[in-house]
Structure formats: structure tokens, C-alpha cells
Structure 1
């Protein structure tokens, strides 16, 4: 008995409300069985009252009927409701009142039948119903053992008392048997309850663990916001719940100079930058927005908006926040970002299309120089199709030898003799005719085709130069992507070796954009080839940033003054002064200074007087095929006077 009482107290310990709600649900899940039990009890009571015509039994029968009808009706109503954890105790109390009232009335009717010594058949019927109900309910309601055991006691204890009260030998033996039945049924109820409680608790724990694991699987560990899996889930949810009069904004951000931070300061600092960017995005995002780190240094924000103007404001604030300098571990960092924005349903009818549009808008923002916001436009799709078409055709053109190398002379302004040729690629498409370099070179750089193309140009230029007089060199433009490619220097080595060309006759022209992202690798590339004898020229001088710093740091032998200082719309006293300053610096550093874009004799005289020693432009010659370049050199060598008299 002590063990049973201890287990009963355990069952009455405070239980988690969710577990209580689930267990309580077992009381209401089978209203049909409750109705059958009520009908049996009511039928036995009515028969007992009718057969005996005893006033007490009649009153007890009427009360039992009222209680039974109320319980069945309440059970049917509650069975259709969702029992919330916070309301569990209220519904448990309501069930207890009905259950205990019905049990005590069944027990009293059986006890009255015994005590009043009514018809023996009626006694057997009422006692049997009370016993069956008490034992059956102990198992049915084991989900709440206090209710099950309470009903057991209330239905059987009056019968036991009445049996002992009459005191016949048969009744006493029956009373003892029923008394022993009580702890046995209590044990069964508690065992069933323990099994139910353990199963539900384990299920709850497993569900909570699964939920935590799901949250972890959808969360980026570095920033604490959603990862790609979490983003996909949220995008689906938001698109399904989007009201008809609202729009869904997808903002895709790509940090502009994050690779530089990782390479120079290390990944721990890079992770702090990512976490800070996530924090700033969180501060700028609307409350209902979803933020995700899509991978690497890319972030995505998704939120509902009313109109495009709201999207423009959000994007502008986000760009401003990301562009603010960071202060991390004593370092002041400026990262910046490119942003692409697309709207649903304006730009796409589904999530997949929306993602593609935002990605394409981001691509245009990056191509435009970064640090800007680009909203999707249908023209971007046409442009992308065109670029992909050019990429595929360019790869094929290299294999089919549709590309040609033309050479534009670089002339000594004092003697008029050709000192070098710049190698320029030309593409003569069999169907579309000649394609301009500004159409296919940017595509080649963006897709990586420039690496193959650049190596091919270098190889062809070196082979052509090997056929020229030894005092004539060839200049080849190098793309930053080509230089950063693995084995870039080896590709130059191979081109020189295959052509049998002296490395000192090869000039590699680079622009200042090369140094913005990758000083260290670029420096190694230039140092390696300079040691071999290859010369380097700084192209488009004056259009970038910190040019003097690059000249001081890297082994340049030639500077090419950009054509905008020679023949551009702003040519004047300022541009002339700049050319003079550059020429003076070149003379001091023993560097050649090339003036690009020369078209008139007046421009030639002006740059020569300013101190430039080399010139290039249509005044001397357009770019010509290799055989015409050979003819120019041959004619020049045959003449006693310089080919072009410079006035």
C-alpha cells in the first residue's frame, strides 16, 4: 500500500503542461465508450428503481441520469476542441467533477440495493455494474491516475461498506474480495500511467531535440542568422503567406573587398567582419524580414514591402551601413558592397525566378564597379543571354582559329622609327562579321575565358616578334584574371620558349586595377618575369589611384599616358602640365613615356615637346595584320631616312 501511495504521489507531482494536456486528451478522445458506460449505468439504475419502486433508488436514478447526460454532452463538445497546455488544469477539474459524481452515484445505488435488501437479482445487477465500472475505468482513465483511482474508490467503497453492514458470510467474503481488488486495480492504473507518461515525455524530448537540431541546421554558425537551408525554408513560407496587395523584396549583397581582408588579416578577422555585417543588416531590416548568409561573403534579405520606393529606401540604408568603416581589433577596415534587388511578383512569379533576377541585378552592380545598388530590369536578361552566347562562341572561336592578332606600332618621336608593336586581338565572326574587343573582352574576363585567350595572344605575339628585327619588341596586354590564374608566369615562360624569343623583347602591359585586390601575388608574378628579362609597362596612366605608389613599388620600365590627356575632350593646359610632370619623372627614373591616342601632327609635337619619347595612335598607323607589320618594318629598314618624318 505504501508503494502504491508513493507512486500515486509521483503521478500527482507537477507535470509539464504540455504532457498534462496530452494525457488529459486521453480522457476525452473516446466519448463513445463514455456514452456506452453511461447507458449501462443508467439502465441498471432505472431497472432497479422500476423493479423495487423504492423512492431512494428512484431519486438516485434521476440524479445518475442527469449526471450521465451532462458528461456525455460535455465530452462530445470538448473532444472537438484543441486542449491548450494553459487550459489543461481547467478541463481536468471539469472532468473530475463529472467522473466523481457519476462514480459515487453508481456506488450508492449498488450500496442501497444491498442495504435495503431489495430483490436479489437487482442486487446482483447493481453490484456487478459498479464493480465493472470501477475496474474498467481504472484502465480507461489511467492517463490521469488521480481521476481513475478516485472513481475506483467512489464506485466500490460504498459497496464494500454495505456488504460489511449486512454482515452475512457470503457478503463478508465478497466485501474482502472487492477490497483486495482496489489496490490491484490501483497498481494497474499506475503502471499504465507510468508507461504513458514516460512515452509522452520521451516523445516531447525527442521533438524538442529535433526542433533544436533543425534550428541549428538552418543557422549560420559565424553570423547567427539563417544559412542557405534556412533561407529556402523562409522564402517558401513568405511567398505562400504574401498578401495580394504586397510585394516581396529580395536584396542580395556581395561584399566588395572581403577577400582582401581574409588574405591580409586572416580568417578570424574575416569572421568578425561577417558577424558585424550581419548585425548591421539586422539593424536596418524590417522586423518581419529574413536575413541569411548565402555563402562566403554574400548576404540576402527578404521582406514584405508596399511599393518599390520602400525597397529603394531599404537598399540605400543597407548600402550605407555596410560601407561604414569597421573597427576590429584595432584595425580600421572599409569593405563596401554591391547590391542586387528583385521584387515578387514584379520581376518573377516564383521564388526561383526571383532569385535569378536578384542574382542578375547583383552581377550588373558588380560589373558597374561595385559599391552600388542595381534593381532588376528585363534588359538584363537579354544582356545575359547575349553574354552567354558570346562566351560559348568565343570558346569555339579559339578552337576554330577565328581570332587574329593585329599590331599597332609604337614610334620613337625623335627618329620616327618603330620601336615596338602592341598586340591587339581581333575577332572576325563568320556570320556576324567583326566583333569589337569591348564586346567580347569583358565577357572573357568575367567568365575566365580570358586566361585561355590571354595565353594564346601572348604565344601568337611572341612568335610574330621572333620574325622581326632584334631592336623591335612586342607589347601584350595582360588581364588581372590572367595574372592571378595558377601558373600565370609559367604560361609566359612557355610562350617565350616556344617562339624562341628573347624575354627582353616582350613587354607586358598592366593597368592599375590589377593592384587593387592582390598586391602580393601580382608582385611575385612581376618579380619572377622581371628577373627573366621581361619588361613591364603601366597602361592607362592617370586614370586610376595611387599611380606613383605603384611605380615606386613595381618594376615598370614604361609608362603609357592615357589618351584622355592627349586627345580627350578636356585636353588643355592642365593635361599638358600633367604630361610634362610624368615625362620628367620618367626621364629621371630612366623609363620610356608613351603618349597614346595621337591623331594629329599638332598632338605629336605637343607630347614630344612635353617630354614623351614614344607615341602611338592613328597618326602613325592603325593596328595591322602581322604580314603588314613585317612590310612596315621592311620598308623602314630599306629607307635611309625614317619612315615618318616628325615635324
Structure 2
């Protein structure tokens, strides 16, 4: 009993889970009730005994009431407290178990026919044993039902007193002991499993909270901010607005540089506390990264939004006192309001970020609200232009190489040089973010020459049958002395001109000027190869294919893995491949991601392939490793088998 009492004092949530197991699958309870009702009715009909009939009637009433109650609770009231659910179940369970055992005992006591005794006693035993396993989640109930089913028959056997029934009574006692032990073992297993599940759930919640929390300030981090913003947007009343305050501390870098990062972290923590003190209770306060913070909260009108912004700035501008040091650090604040300044979270954050930028460029230590006149695109371009020039000076750019593979042998024929920019604060910036800006501002000339020089140096370390491909911008080609700059890069790298491939797009030939023709002619005479990139996406013309010495045509990825691939795109690839074969040019299929795509373009006549199926763009040392591995392992047979397999 001490064991049962100790087990019964477990955590309420675990207890509720175990009690819920009693109500699971109420259909099985209904089947048991129906069997008991049928057997008791047969016993009453055959014996014609008033007492057995009375017991059968009571069993019927209990069974029907119990089934109704089980379905009712399982469907609508499962969230009641555990004790109430348990009490409701106990009343029906104990009553039905006792009546089942009583009917069996009465048939033995009245010395009814052997078949009736066998039928009722067997049902009582089967029900008691079965329910002990089914209700093991609450061992007191399970063992109680077992006792109520079997004890009436034990007492009857002792009253009758025949040797056979006495032995039967002893057997039933052993059965009770055995089933009680089994029930407790099952209960322990269930409890351990539920407890483990509860522990895992709590740990998962804790890990989720940690993943959404900034370790320095205790505020939400970016992940936590994104989650809260979505929740706030979904629950935003129609008559209210969502304000986003984006803060950037002024002169915080000086604090880190002069006083150290530990002091800087304490300043960030103090800023977090001040922001939490100013923000409304339901607001989300987050550290976005570095010395940037974001507050998101509901507002009723513009006046409330402006007042909160002023209070925030005033509080942040108060001096900090850290280890006796007086630290003064203002802040720039950008504010945007949903839906006025953006219909969704992304647009709202872009608007607030742009407002913050204007607050900083206008003198810092001020609040700036987003306005439609702010042209983020222009500001971004100027920012990228300045940072790109600085990145070239600080050597922040890197060259990655993506292999172009021979579709017949599987061997690497060329590496395409691709520029990557890993910004020390913003992380990796995509080429489509800074290349267009570089072209519009003229930085592409300096950038292009640098890429060519880096690619030539890397290629000089590779086997002589491997070439390198470099994309050229039309602006770079038209620049004065462009050809001489490329030849100079080849001489400095000690690389044969025949191992350099310059990729140009069809847009280059829209303005068919003499500079373009002179550039291509001068370099091709020195042995530099030219490839036509993104063929089929621009103003395609066979005239310039015939006019200029192209050695390679690259079929754009949209014909290989785009959303509109099909019979037409396949026909275009075949036509281009046939033309390339006739003109003795290599045809490169871009964007290959699957073996099926590789097989398709190879069957269409393409000679070379490029895409993630073979490799992503990798640094120069990994490119060298790929080549070394390829030279050590002749995998041409394996590649052919994959294509034909």
C-alpha cells in the first residue's frame, strides 16, 4: 500500500496522462459491456432465478450508464481535472466489475447448469484479467476491478466447500497476486515513458527558448523576434497598428575598442533593461545583432508612437555607469508603422531599417520616421559601392570555382571563377546584390580585373589540360586598355592564354561597336578562348556566333531545370547542340542538379555540364583537391555506368 500511495503522489500532469489512458478507445469498453449484458441475460433466462435476474438487471443499468459516460467524457470533458475523471471512472468500473463477479458467483452458488456456470465464471475471469492490463495506467482501479470480479467467486467457492471449488478458489488467489504484479509492472513502464516524454517536452521547450534568446541581454534574438512578429501580426486588432522601432547605438564600437568587450556586453545588457522599462508590457524587445535593437508593439495612433519613440531615445541617451566609468552613448532610431509603411513584416522591417539609415546619415542621436520619399534602393547602392571599394582594398572578396565537366568521361575540363563577398559584419552578400551596383557605378572594371588576376593565379597551379572561365561585364570590355590588362594578368600568373576562357553574354552585342570587336580579336589572336554565356535568354542572333570566334556556348539553366522545361526546351537544346557539333563548338548545359537532367542533356548532344549535381562552387584549395582526386581515381567507367544505369 505504501508503494501505491507513493506512486499515486506523482506529478499532476503525468497523472492526468495516465487517467486519460482509461478513457482511450471507449469502444472497447462498450464491447465488454455488451458481452457482460448478453451473458447475464442468458444466465437469467436459463436459470429463472429471481436473484440472478435482479443482478443481471443491475448489471445492465450499470453497463449502459458506463458506456454513455465513457463516450461523453472522451469526446467533450477530457480536460477536466484528473481526480474528477478518475472518480467518474471508478464508480462505473467498480460497479460493473462487482456485478460481473456477482453474477458468476450466483450461478455457482445456485448450482446452475455447468454450461451457465462456465459461461458466467469465464466472463468474470476474462474481464478481470483483461481490465487489469487495460487500466494499468491507474493500478488502484485495475487491481480493484480484478478483486471485485474474482472475490465474489472465491467467497462462493469457500461457502460451497467442495474440494474442486476450494482448489479453484486457491487458484483464483494466485491469479490475483500474479495479475497485480503484472499490472504494477505495466504501470511502472507507462509512468516512466510518460515522465520521459514530459522531460523531453520540457527540454525541447527550453532549447526552443534558448534558440530564441540572446545570451548577452536576455532579450529575444532574431529568431525570437521573427516568431513574435508573426504572432503579433496574426493577433493584431483591425483598429490598431503595429509599430517597429529599430535602434542603433552611437559610438558603441569605441566602447568595445577602449574598454573591452566585457564592458561592452554590460552596456548592451543595461540598454536592454532600459528598453524593457520603456516598452509596453506586451511589446517584443529584441537584440537584432551587434549594437542594434528592435521594439515591436501595438499602438493606437501616431501620437502614441511618437511619444514612445521620444521616451526611448531620452532614456538610452542617459549616461551609463559601469565599474566607475561614465559612458555616454546616444542612439539612432528608425520607426515604421504597419500597415501605413508596409503591409507585411518584411516590408515593415525594410521601412524601419531605411528610416534608421536616414537617422544615422542625418546626424545620429535622433528619431526618424519612415517616409515614402526615402529611396532605399538608392541608399543601398551608395552603401554597397562604398563598401565594395573598401572590400577590394581590404581583400575581403574571394574567388570560388565551379567545375564544368565532360559529359562523356565525367572529368573536369574547366572551372568557372565566381566572386564571393564575405562582409565582416553583414555576412555573405550575394553576387546579385553587388554586381549590378558595381556595373552601374563603374567599380566592375576594377573588380573584373581583380577576378581575372586571381583566377589566372589559381589556374596556373592546375594540370595543363584544365582551363579557367571568367565572366566579363560589357562595361569592363569597353574600358580603355581592357585587353592589355587581361594579358598582363596572364603574364604575371605565368598562365598560357589558351587556358583562359572569357564568358560574355548576348547583351554585349546590342551595341556592336568597334571596341568590342577589337577586344575579342586582340585576345583571341593571343590564344584566349571566348564562350557565349546564358544563350537563349537575351537577343539571340546567329550572326554574331558566325562573326566572333566562340569556342563554347552555354545553354541557360532555364532550359535545363527551369519551371517551363518540356518538349520545346528539349528541342531547343538539341538544336543548339547540333549547331555546336557542326561548328565544332562545345555546348555547356548549366544548372544540372539531377542524374536525369545530366542524361537528358547528354542525349540531346551537349558535351559539357555544370551544376550542383557535380559540385557547388568551392575555394581554390578544394578545386585543387578535386583535380588531384580525379587524377588519382579514374572514374570514367563509373560515370558512364551512372548515365546509362
Fold similarity call, TM over 0.5: yes
Measured against aligned partners, the alpha-carbon deviations of 1:386-410 in whole angstroms (never above 9, x if no partner) come to 3455678899999xxxxxxxxxxxx
Structure 1 Cα separation of the partners of residues 47 and 179 of structure 2: 32
Superposed displacement of residue 378, structure 1: 1.2
Look up the match of 1:300: 294
Of residues 42, 53, 58 in structure 1, which corresponds to 2:53? Answer: 58
Cα distance in 2 for residues equivalent to 1:389 and 1:369:
20
Is the partner of 1:294 in helix, strand or coil?
A: strand
- Measure the CA separation in 2 of the matches of 1:82 and 1:298: 49
Q: 1:132–1:117: structure 2 CA closer, same or farther, 3 Å change rule? A: same
Does 2:7 match 1:11?
yes
> Which residue number in structure 2 is paired with residue 33 of structure 1?
28
User: Which of 72, 75, 85 is residue 70 of structure 2 equivalent to?
Assistant: 75
Q: What is the CA–CA distance in structure 2 between the aligned matches of 1:70 and 1:392, rounded to whole Å?
A: 76
What are the residue-to-residue correspondences of 1:162-561 with 2, within 5 Å?
162-381=156-375, 384-388=376-380
Is 1:21–1:83's contact at 8 Å kept on the other side of the alignment? no
CA distance in 2, matches of 1:258, 1:119: 96
1:24 aligns with 2:16: no
Superposed displacement of residue 328, structure 1: 2.0
Counterpart for residue 600 of structure 1? none
Distance 1:292 1:360 in 2: 18
Q: 1:207 to 1:391 in 2, by over 3 A?
A: closer
Unaligned runs of 5+ in 1: 399-442, 454-647
- In structure 2, what is the Cα distance between the partners aligned to 1:297 and 1:397? 25
Say whether residues 1:152 and 2:146 are aligned partners: yes
Give the deviation of 1:354 after TM superposition. Answer: 1.0
Q: Is the 1:289–1:303 Cα contact (8 Å) retained in structure 2?
A: yes
Q: Secondary structure at the match of 2:238?
A: coil
Deviation at 1:34, TM superposition (A): 0.1
Q: Tell me by how many angstroms 1:121 deviates.
A: 2.0
How far does residue 6 in structure 1 lie from its aligned partner after superposition?
Answer: 6.2
* Higher CA-based Rg: 1
Distance 1:396 1:22, change over 3 A: closer
Unaligned runs of 5+ in 2: 391-436, 448-645
1:55 positional shift: 1.5
Mapped to 2, the partners of 1:116 and 1:92 lie a distance apart of: 36
Aligned ranges 1:95-110 → 2 under 5 Å: 95-110=89-104
Match of 2:511 in 1: none
| Aligned-partner SS, 1:273 | helix
Deviations 1:188-227 (A, max 9, x none): 1111111111011011111111111111121111111111
* TM-score of the superposed pair, with normalisation by structure 2: 0.59
Q: Given that residues 7 and 190 in structure 1 are in contact (C-alpha distance below 8 angstroms), is that contact kept between their aligned partners in structure 2?
A: no
Residue aligning to 1:621: none
- TM-score after normalising by structure 1: 0.58
Displacement after TM superposition at 1:169 (Å): 2.3
Residues 338-366 of structure 1: CA distance to partner in whole angstroms, max 9, x if unpaired?
00011111111111111111100000000
Distance 1:97 1:395, change over 3 A: closer
Give the total of aligned pairs. Answer: 397
Task: Tell me how far apart the structure 2 counterparts of residues 291 and 395 of structure 1 sit (CA, whole Å).
Answer: 30
Offset of 1:302 from its aligned partner?
0.7
Give a deviation string over 1:421-480, Cα, whole Å, max 9, x none: xxxxxxxxxxxxxxxxxxxxxx99xx9x9xx99xxxxxxxxxxxxxxxxxxxxxxxxxxx
SS at 1:109 equivalent:
helix
- In the alignment, the residues of structure 1 paired with residue 209 and residue 243 of structure 2 have an alpha-carbon distance, to the nearest angstrom, of 24
1:250 is paired with a residue whose SS is strand
Distance, in Å, in 2 between the alignment partners of 1:108 and 1:397 is 95
Can you list the C-alpha shifts for 1:589-618, whole angstroms capped at 9, x where unaligned?
xxxxxxxxxxxxxxxxxxxxxxxxxxxxxx
Residues 1:316 and 1:123: Cα distance change in structure 2 (over 3 Å) = same
Deviation track 1:60-105 (CA, whole Å, cap 9, x = no partner) reads 1121111111111111011124644x71111111111111111111
Residues 1:121 and 2:149 aligned together: no
Deviation by residue 1:103-134 (Cα, 9 ceiling, x = unmatched) = 11111111111112223222111111100100
Deviation at 1:168, TM superposition (A): 1.9
